[in-house]
């Protein structure tokens, strides 16, 4: 037999008061367990919570690895253009113009990748919708935060090598291989 009690007060005090009332009615009735509904629900949802926590951790790890990879690819791409930057500078381009051009071209490549990535991620989330409770499979906040982080990393990955290349003497940049 189970007894469920609803209270408007503090639920942690109810089990002891209920034990006292049951003992007053009949001392021979065994009471095995008394716990709050919050504890019962917490035990029921422990496995799904741990699964969600584990998946969130893997998602965060994937975001960090994607950021590192994106930084490496974009920085390498921009660094490969040092000779081109030297030619532009030798022909009279100002460092600000070179910086704007190199960063703009690097970010346009990243923008295309971002749009394709968002579309593919949204499509990949549809089969997982049945496993989600109370959360949209295409959560704008999560997609926006991940996109903003990756775009920020890509911007840094474009700006740092582009500034370094724009600051180099054009003659040295032309010798660069």
pLDDT at position 176, please? Answer: 62
pLDDT at position 120, please? Answer: 92
pLDDT at position 177, please? Answer: 60
Distance of CA 176 to the CA centre of its chain: 38
What percent of the chain stands above pLDDT 90? Answer: 8
pLDDT at position 119, please? Answer: 92
Give the H or E element holding residue 74: helix 46-79
Interior/surface letters 33-51, b for 16+ CB within 10 angstroms, e for the rest: eeebeeeeeeeeeeeeeee
Kindly state the tokens that stand for 150. Answer: 């990756």
SS3 call for 7: coil
The stretch 100-105 carries a mean pLDDT of 86
Q: Is the pLDDT of residue 115 over 90?
A: yes
Q: Is the pLDDT of residue 40 over 80?
A: yes
The Cα 87–Cα 117 span in angstroms is: 34
More confident residue, 24 or 74: 24
The stretch 137-160 carries a mean pLDDT of 87
Please say whether the dihedral angle defined by the alpha carbons of residues 109, 111, 112 and 116, taken in this order, is positive or negative. Answer: positive
- Lowest mean pLDDT, pick from 12-21, 108-117, 143-152, 165-174: 165-174
The stretch 83-107 carries a mean pLDDT of 85
The stretch 21-25 carries a mean pLDDT of 87
Residue 116 backbone phi and psi in degrees, to 5: -65, -40
Q: Is the pLDDT of residue 2 over 80?
A: no
Query: For residue range 41-80, what is the model confidence (pLDDT) as tens digits?
Result: 888 889 888 988 998 899 889 988 988 988 888 888 877 8
Region class of 72: left (phi > 0), else alpha (psi between -120 and 50), else beta: alpha
Separation in Å, CA 41 to CA 8, 35, 45, 49, 63: 18, 10, 6, 11, 32
Mean pLDDT of the chain: 84
The Cα 165–Cα 113 span in angstroms is: 24
pLDDT at position 61, please? Answer: 94
Separation in Å, CA 104 to CA 59, 78, 159: 29, 11, 10
């Amino acid at each position: 037999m189970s007894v469920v009690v609803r209270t408007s007060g503090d639920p942690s005090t109810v089990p002891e008061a209920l034990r006292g009332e049951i003992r007053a009615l009949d001392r021979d009735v065994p009471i095995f367990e008394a716990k709050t509904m919050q504890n019962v629900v917490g035990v029921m949802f422990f496995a799904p919570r741990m699964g969600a926590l584990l998946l969130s951790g893997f998602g965060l790890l994937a975001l960090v690895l994607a950021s590192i990879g994106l930084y490496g690819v974009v920085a390498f791409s921009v660094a490969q253009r040092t000779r081109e930057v030297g030619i532009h500078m030798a022909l009279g381009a100002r460092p600000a113009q070179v910086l704007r051009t190199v960063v703009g071209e690097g970010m346009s490549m990243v923008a295309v990748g971002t749009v394709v990535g968002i579309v593919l991620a949204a499509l990949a989330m549809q089969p997982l919708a049945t496993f989600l409770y109370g959360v949209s499979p295409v959560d704008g906040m999560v997609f926006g935060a991940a996109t903003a982080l990756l775009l920020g990393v890509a911007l840094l990955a474009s700006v740092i090598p582009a500034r370094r290349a724009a600051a180099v003497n054009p003659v040295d940049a032309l010798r660069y291989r």
